[in-house]
Protein backbone atom coordinates (compact mmCIF):
# COMPACT_ATOMS: atom_id res chain seq x y z
CA UNK A 1 0.00 0.00 0.00
CA UNK A 2 1.59 3.26 -1.11
CA UNK A 3 1.85 6.10 1.42
CA UNK A 4 -0.36 4.35 4.02
CA UNK A 5 -0.34 7.28 6.46
CA UNK A 6 -0.89 10.11 4.00
CA UNK A 7 -4.14 12.01 4.30
CA UNK A 8 -6.17 12.06 1.08
CA UNK A 9 -6.85 15.30 -0.72
CA UNK A 10 -10.29 16.82 -0.65
CA UNK A 11 -12.38 15.70 -3.64
CA UNK A 12 -14.13 17.93 -6.13
CA UNK A 13 -17.50 19.06 -4.72
CA UNK A 14 -20.67 17.72 -6.30
CA UNK A 15 -23.05 20.54 -5.45
CA UNK A 16 -23.71 23.36 -2.97
CA UNK A 17 -23.74 21.17 0.15
CA UNK A 18 -20.40 19.46 -0.44
CA UNK A 19 -18.92 22.71 -1.74
CA UNK A 20 -19.89 24.57 1.43
CA UNK A 21 -18.59 21.76 3.67
CA UNK A 22 -15.26 21.82 1.84
CA UNK A 23 -15.05 25.61 2.09
CA UNK A 24 -15.65 25.35 5.83
CA UNK A 25 -13.00 22.65 6.19
CA UNK A 26 -10.53 24.95 4.43
CA UNK A 27 -11.65 27.92 6.52
CA UNK A 28 -12.78 29.87 3.47
CA UNK A 29 -16.56 29.91 3.72
CA UNK A 30 -19.72 29.21 5.74
CA UNK A 31 -21.47 25.90 6.15
CA UNK A 32 -24.64 25.23 4.13
CA UNK A 33 -27.92 26.63 5.49
CA UNK A 34 -30.62 24.30 6.78
CA UNK A 35 -32.83 24.89 3.76
CA UNK A 36 -30.15 23.54 1.41
CA UNK A 37 -29.76 20.43 3.56
CA UNK A 38 -33.53 19.93 3.51
CA UNK A 39 -33.81 20.41 -0.26
CA UNK A 40 -31.02 18.13 -1.51
CA UNK A 41 -31.89 14.65 -2.85
CA UNK A 42 -31.09 12.38 0.07
CA UNK A 43 -29.36 9.63 -1.92
CA UNK A 44 -27.81 12.05 -4.39
CA UNK A 45 -24.17 12.88 -5.02
CA UNK A 46 -24.13 16.20 -3.19
CA UNK A 47 -25.67 15.18 0.13
CA UNK A 48 -23.87 11.85 0.25
CA UNK A 49 -20.49 13.44 -0.47
CA UNK A 50 -21.10 16.15 2.14
CA UNK A 51 -21.88 13.45 4.70
CA UNK A 52 -18.87 11.38 3.62
CA UNK A 53 -16.63 14.41 4.15
CA UNK A 54 -17.96 14.84 7.68
CA UNK A 55 -17.49 11.17 8.49
CA UNK A 56 -14.00 10.91 7.04
CA UNK A 57 -12.75 13.35 9.68
CA UNK A 58 -13.20 10.46 12.15
CA UNK A 59 -10.97 8.19 10.05
CA UNK A 60 -8.00 9.65 8.16
CA UNK A 61 -9.13 13.23 7.63
CA UNK A 62 -7.96 15.25 4.62
CA UNK A 63 -4.74 16.93 3.62
CA UNK A 64 -4.76 20.58 4.63
CA UNK A 65 -7.67 20.15 7.06
CA UNK A 66 -6.90 20.57 10.77
CA UNK A 67 -7.42 17.41 12.81
CA UNK A 68 -9.49 19.41 15.31
CA UNK A 69 -12.19 19.88 12.67
CA UNK A 70 -13.38 16.43 13.74
CA UNK A 71 -15.05 18.08 16.74
CA UNK A 72 -16.04 21.40 15.18
CA UNK A 73 -19.44 22.06 16.84
CA UNK A 74 -20.93 23.83 13.82
CA UNK A 75 -19.81 21.07 11.48
CA UNK A 76 -21.25 18.46 13.86
CA UNK A 77 -24.56 20.33 13.79
CA UNK A 78 -24.63 20.16 9.99
CA UNK A 79 -23.57 16.53 10.05
CA UNK A 80 -26.46 15.75 12.39
CA UNK A 81 -28.89 17.42 9.98
CA UNK A 82 -27.48 15.43 7.05
CA UNK A 83 -27.61 12.24 9.10
CA UNK A 84 -31.19 12.84 10.17
CA UNK A 85 -32.29 13.18 6.55
CA UNK A 86 -30.38 10.03 5.61
CA UNK A 87 -31.67 8.02 8.55
CA UNK A 88 -35.27 9.15 8.04
CA UNK A 89 -35.12 8.12 4.39
CA UNK A 90 -33.61 4.73 5.26
CA UNK A 91 -36.29 4.04 7.85
CA UNK A 92 -38.97 4.87 5.29
CA UNK A 93 -37.43 3.10 2.29
CA UNK A 94 -35.51 0.14 3.68
CA UNK A 95 -37.30 -1.15 6.77
CA UNK A 96 -39.05 -4.45 6.08
CA UNK A 97 -38.79 -6.38 9.35
CA UNK A 98 -38.95 -5.92 13.10
CA UNK A 99 -38.01 -9.52 13.87
CA UNK A 100 -34.32 -10.45 13.65
CA UNK A 101 -34.87 -14.05 12.56
CA UNK A 102 -37.20 -12.96 9.78
CA UNK A 103 -34.74 -10.33 8.59
CA UNK A 104 -31.85 -12.80 8.56
CA UNK A 105 -33.92 -15.51 6.88
CA UNK A 106 -34.04 -13.42 3.73
CA UNK A 107 -30.26 -13.49 3.31
CA UNK A 108 -29.34 -16.91 4.70
CA UNK A 109 -30.53 -18.72 1.56
CA UNK A 110 -29.39 -17.48 -1.83
CA UNK A 111 -31.65 -17.68 -4.90
CA UNK A 112 -30.63 -20.40 -7.35
CA UNK A 113 -30.77 -17.99 -10.28
CA UNK A 114 -28.99 -15.02 -8.70
CA UNK A 115 -28.38 -11.99 -10.90
CA UNK A 116 -26.27 -9.71 -8.73
CA UNK A 117 -22.94 -8.03 -9.39
CA UNK A 118 -20.84 -11.00 -8.27
CA UNK A 119 -22.83 -13.27 -10.60
CA UNK A 120 -22.25 -10.86 -13.49
CA UNK A 121 -18.53 -10.57 -12.81
CA UNK A 122 -18.16 -14.35 -12.51
CA UNK A 123 -20.10 -15.17 -15.67
CA UNK A 124 -19.68 -12.22 -18.02
CA UNK A 125 -17.39 -9.64 -16.50
CA UNK A 126 -14.35 -8.34 -18.32
CA UNK A 127 -11.19 -7.06 -16.73
CA UNK A 128 -12.35 -3.45 -16.98
CA UNK A 129 -15.47 -4.34 -14.98
CA UNK A 130 -13.33 -5.96 -12.29
CA UNK A 131 -11.07 -2.90 -12.12
CA UNK A 132 -14.03 -0.56 -11.77
CA UNK A 133 -15.54 -2.73 -9.06
CA UNK A 134 -12.29 -2.65 -7.10
CA UNK A 135 -11.94 1.12 -7.50
CA UNK A 136 -15.47 1.67 -6.21
CA UNK A 137 -15.12 -0.73 -3.30
CA UNK A 138 -11.73 0.69 -2.29
CA UNK A 139 -13.50 3.45 -0.37
CA UNK A 140 -14.48 0.79 2.16
CA UNK A 141 -11.92 -1.96 1.75
CA UNK A 142 -8.92 0.29 2.37
CA UNK A 143 -10.42 0.88 5.81
CA UNK A 144 -12.03 -2.54 6.10
CA UNK A 145 -13.38 -3.29 9.58
CA UNK A 146 -12.72 0.25 10.87
CA UNK A 147 -16.37 1.40 10.83
CA UNK A 148 -17.39 -1.73 12.73
CA UNK A 149 -14.81 -1.17 15.46
CA UNK A 150 -16.86 1.78 16.75
CA UNK A 151 -19.37 -0.67 18.20
CA UNK A 152 -16.93 -2.52 20.47
CA UNK A 153 -17.14 -0.20 23.51
CA UNK A 154 -20.94 -0.31 23.19
CA UNK A 155 -21.21 -4.09 23.53
CA UNK A 156 -20.88 -6.34 26.55
CA UNK A 157 -20.21 -9.98 27.40
CA UNK A 158 -20.60 -12.57 24.62
CA UNK A 159 -21.33 -9.99 21.95
CA UNK A 160 -18.25 -7.93 22.78
CA UNK A 161 -15.90 -10.92 22.98
CA UNK A 162 -17.14 -12.39 19.70
CA UNK A 163 -17.09 -9.07 17.87
CA UNK A 164 -13.52 -8.46 19.03
CA UNK A 165 -12.52 -11.93 17.81
CA UNK A 166 -13.92 -11.29 14.33
CA UNK A 167 -12.31 -7.85 14.17
CA UNK A 168 -8.99 -9.41 15.21
CA UNK A 169 -9.20 -11.62 12.13
CA UNK A 170 -10.10 -8.65 9.93
CA UNK A 171 -7.00 -6.88 11.21
CA UNK A 172 -4.77 -9.78 10.26
CA UNK A 173 -4.65 -11.71 13.52
CA UNK A 174 -1.71 -9.59 14.65
CA UNK A 175 0.15 -9.77 11.32
CA UNK A 176 0.43 -6.54 9.35
CA UNK A 177 0.74 -8.36 6.03
CA UNK A 178 -2.59 -10.13 6.67
CA UNK A 179 -4.67 -7.06 7.50
CA UNK A 180 -7.58 -7.18 5.07
CA UNK A 181 -7.08 -3.58 3.99
CA UNK A 182 -3.49 -4.53 3.11
CA UNK A 183 -4.71 -7.54 1.14
CA UNK A 184 -7.12 -5.33 -0.79
CA UNK A 185 -4.30 -2.93 -1.61
CA UNK A 186 -2.41 -5.92 -3.02
CA UNK A 187 -5.47 -6.75 -5.12
CA UNK A 188 -5.49 -3.18 -6.43
CA UNK A 189 -1.82 -3.44 -7.33
CA UNK A 190 -2.55 -6.56 -9.37
CA UNK A 191 -5.22 -4.58 -11.21
CA UNK A 192 -2.98 -1.61 -11.91
CA UNK A 193 -4.90 0.68 -9.56
CA UNK A 194 -3.55 3.39 -7.29
CA UNK A 195 -3.57 2.08 -3.71
CA UNK A 196 -3.54 5.51 -2.05
CA UNK A 197 -6.29 5.82 0.56
CA UNK A 198 -9.26 7.73 -0.83
CA UNK A 199 -7.76 7.90 -4.32
CA UNK A 200 -11.04 6.97 -6.04
CA UNK A 201 -13.40 9.14 -4.01
CA UNK A 202 -13.83 11.52 -6.94
CA UNK A 203 -14.69 8.60 -9.22
CA UNK A 204 -17.09 6.71 -6.95
CA UNK A 205 -20.82 6.90 -7.65
CA UNK A 206 -23.36 8.15 -5.12
CA UNK A 207 -24.72 4.64 -4.61
CA UNK A 208 -21.30 3.52 -3.40
CA UNK A 209 -21.07 6.49 -1.03
CA UNK A 210 -24.41 5.42 0.46
CA UNK A 211 -23.01 1.99 1.37
CA UNK A 212 -19.98 3.47 3.13
CA UNK A 213 -21.92 6.26 4.83
CA UNK A 214 -24.39 3.69 6.11
CA UNK A 215 -21.78 1.87 8.18
CA UNK A 216 -20.30 5.12 9.48
CA UNK A 217 -23.78 6.32 10.47
CA UNK A 218 -24.46 3.11 12.38
CA UNK A 219 -20.99 2.95 13.87
CA UNK A 220 -20.73 6.51 15.12
CA UNK A 221 -24.13 6.67 16.82
CA UNK A 222 -24.35 4.68 20.03
CA UNK A 223 -28.13 4.71 19.67
CA UNK A 224 -27.71 2.69 16.46
CA UNK A 225 -25.45 -0.03 17.89
CA UNK A 226 -28.13 -2.60 17.14
CA UNK A 227 -28.29 -1.47 13.52
CA UNK A 228 -24.50 -1.73 13.25
CA UNK A 229 -24.65 -5.33 14.49
CA UNK A 230 -27.40 -6.06 11.95
CA UNK A 231 -25.30 -4.50 9.23
CA UNK A 232 -22.23 -6.49 10.24
CA UNK A 233 -24.22 -9.73 10.34
CA UNK A 234 -25.46 -9.05 6.81
CA UNK A 235 -21.94 -8.43 5.54
CA UNK A 236 -20.59 -11.61 7.08
CA UNK A 237 -23.52 -13.81 6.02
CA UNK A 238 -23.42 -12.69 2.39
CA UNK A 239 -19.65 -12.38 2.07
CA UNK A 240 -18.59 -16.01 1.71
CA UNK A 241 -20.77 -17.00 -1.28
CA UNK A 242 -20.25 -13.63 -2.93
CA UNK A 243 -16.50 -13.86 -2.42
CA UNK A 244 -16.46 -17.32 -3.98
CA UNK A 245 -18.02 -15.91 -7.14
CA UNK A 246 -15.65 -12.94 -7.12
CA UNK A 247 -12.64 -15.24 -6.71
CA UNK A 248 -13.82 -17.13 -9.78
CA UNK A 249 -14.18 -13.81 -11.60
CA UNK A 250 -10.61 -12.87 -10.69
CA UNK A 251 -9.32 -16.17 -12.05
CA UNK A 252 -11.38 -16.03 -15.22
CA UNK A 253 -10.32 -12.47 -16.08
CA UNK A 254 -6.67 -12.99 -15.16
CA UNK A 255 -6.78 -10.30 -12.49
CA UNK A 256 -3.72 -11.66 -10.70
CA UNK A 257 -2.76 -13.84 -7.73
CA UNK A 258 -3.28 -11.19 -5.04
CA UNK A 259 -6.71 -10.40 -6.46
CA UNK A 260 -7.63 -14.08 -6.32
CA UNK A 261 -6.21 -14.44 -2.82
CA UNK A 262 -8.21 -11.55 -1.37
CA UNK A 263 -11.51 -13.19 -2.22
CA UNK A 264 -10.34 -16.74 -1.54
CA UNK A 265 -9.39 -15.57 1.96
CA UNK A 266 -12.88 -14.15 2.50
CA UNK A 267 -14.59 -17.37 1.38
CA UNK A 268 -13.05 -19.30 4.25
CA UNK A 269 -12.79 -16.60 6.89
CA UNK A 270 -16.30 -15.22 6.49
CA UNK A 271 -17.92 -18.64 6.51
CA UNK A 272 -16.58 -18.94 10.06
CA UNK A 273 -17.38 -15.32 10.90
CA UNK A 274 -20.99 -15.81 9.86
CA UNK A 275 -21.51 -18.42 12.54
CA UNK A 276 -19.75 -16.37 15.20
CA UNK A 277 -21.67 -13.21 14.37
CA UNK A 278 -25.08 -14.88 14.27
CA UNK A 279 -24.71 -17.11 17.33
CA UNK A 280 -22.52 -14.93 19.53
CA UNK A 281 -22.66 -11.26 18.48
CA UNK A 282 -26.34 -11.04 17.51
CA UNK A 283 -27.57 -13.57 20.07
CA UNK A 284 -25.29 -12.12 22.74
CA UNK A 285 -26.58 -8.59 22.16
CA UNK A 286 -30.20 -9.74 22.25
CA UNK A 287 -29.50 -11.60 25.46
CA UNK A 288 -28.59 -8.41 27.32
CA UNK A 289 -30.53 -5.84 25.27
CA UNK A 290 -33.58 -7.56 23.78
CA UNK A 291 -35.19 -4.19 23.07
CA UNK A 292 -32.67 -3.72 20.23
CA UNK A 293 -34.21 -6.48 18.10
CA UNK A 294 -35.98 -4.06 15.76
CA UNK A 295 -32.77 -2.05 15.33
CA UNK A 296 -30.79 -5.16 14.41
CA UNK A 297 -33.45 -6.06 11.84
CA UNK A 298 -33.32 -2.51 10.50
CA UNK A 299 -29.55 -2.80 10.09
CA UNK A 300 -30.06 -5.92 7.99
CA UNK A 301 -32.76 -4.30 5.86
CA UNK A 302 -30.85 -1.07 5.34
CA UNK A 303 -27.72 -2.93 4.25
CA UNK A 304 -29.64 -5.03 1.74
CA UNK A 305 -31.36 -1.89 0.45
CA UNK A 306 -28.10 0.03 -0.02
CA UNK A 307 -26.31 -2.90 -1.65
CA UNK A 308 -29.23 -3.55 -3.99
CA UNK A 309 -29.19 0.08 -5.13
CA UNK A 310 -25.47 -0.12 -5.80
CA UNK A 311 -25.86 -3.38 -7.69
CA UNK A 312 -28.62 -1.95 -9.85
CA UNK A 313 -26.46 1.06 -10.70
CA UNK A 314 -23.40 -1.00 -11.63
CA UNK A 315 -25.34 -3.51 -13.71
CA UNK A 316 -27.30 -0.79 -15.51
CA UNK A 317 -24.12 1.03 -16.47
CA UNK A 318 -22.22 -2.08 -17.48
CA UNK A 319 -25.21 -3.48 -19.32
CA UNK A 320 -25.26 -0.29 -21.39
CA UNK A 321 -21.54 -0.62 -22.08
CA UNK A 322 -20.59 2.47 -20.07
CA UNK A 323 -18.41 3.09 -17.05
CA UNK A 324 -19.99 3.06 -13.59
CA UNK A 325 -17.41 5.60 -12.44
CA UNK A 326 -17.70 9.36 -12.61
CA UNK A 327 -14.18 9.37 -14.05
CA UNK A 328 -13.42 6.22 -16.10
CA UNK A 329 -10.18 4.39 -15.46
CA UNK A 330 -7.37 4.16 -17.95
CA UNK A 331 -7.63 0.87 -19.81
CA UNK A 332 -3.86 0.46 -20.04
CA UNK A 333 -1.94 -1.09 -17.20
CA UNK A 334 0.57 -3.83 -16.54
CA UNK A 335 0.29 -6.53 -13.90
CA UNK A 336 2.80 -6.26 -11.09
CA UNK A 337 5.60 -8.74 -11.62
pLDDT tens-digit map of 137-176: 999 999 999 999 999 999 999 999 999 999 999 999 999 9
Instruction: Let me know whether 176 and 309 are in one domain.
Output: yes
What pLDDT, on a 0 to 100 scale, did the predictor assign at position 4? 60
Query: Which domain range does residue 72 map to?
Result: 16-92
Work out how many domains the chain is built from and give that number. 2
| Cβ-based neighbour number of residue 43 at 10 Å | 18
Instruction: Let me know whether 142 and 178 are in one domain.
Output: yes
Q: Which of 48, 75, 92 is the last residue of a domain?
A: 92
pLDDT digits (tens, 9 = 90+) for 230-243: 999 999 999 889 99
What pLDDT, on a 0 to 100 scale, did the predictor assign at position 110? 82
pTM, entire model: 0.95
Q: Are 236 and 165 in contact (CB under 8 A)?
A: no
Q: What is the dihedral of CA 133, 137, 138, 142, to 10 degrees?
A: -140
Rounded distance, CA 257 to CA 137, Å?
Answer: 19
Instruction: Let me know whether 106 and 75 are in one domain.
Output: no
Q: Are 208 and 310 in contact (CB under 8 A)?
A: yes
Instruction: Let me know whether 291 and 259 are in one domain.
Output: yes
Rounded distance, CA 97 to CA 101, Å?
Answer: 9
Rounded distance, CA 177 to CA 284, Å?
Answer: 31
335 pLDDT higher than 50: no
Instruction: Let me know whether 136 and 237 are in one domain.
Output: yes
Instruction: For Cα atoms 249, 300, 164, give the angle at the middle one, nearest 5 degrees.
Output: 85
Amino acid sequence: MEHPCEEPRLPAPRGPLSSAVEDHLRGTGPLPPDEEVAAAPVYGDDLQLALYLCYELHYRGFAGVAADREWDPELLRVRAALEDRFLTALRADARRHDDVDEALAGILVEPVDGTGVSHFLRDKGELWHVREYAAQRSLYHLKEADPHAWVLPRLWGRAKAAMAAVEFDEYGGGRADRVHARLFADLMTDLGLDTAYGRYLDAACAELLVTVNLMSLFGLRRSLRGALVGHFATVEITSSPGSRRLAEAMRRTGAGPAAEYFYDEHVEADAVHEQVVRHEVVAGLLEVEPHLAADIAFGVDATVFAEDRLGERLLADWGAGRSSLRTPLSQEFAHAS
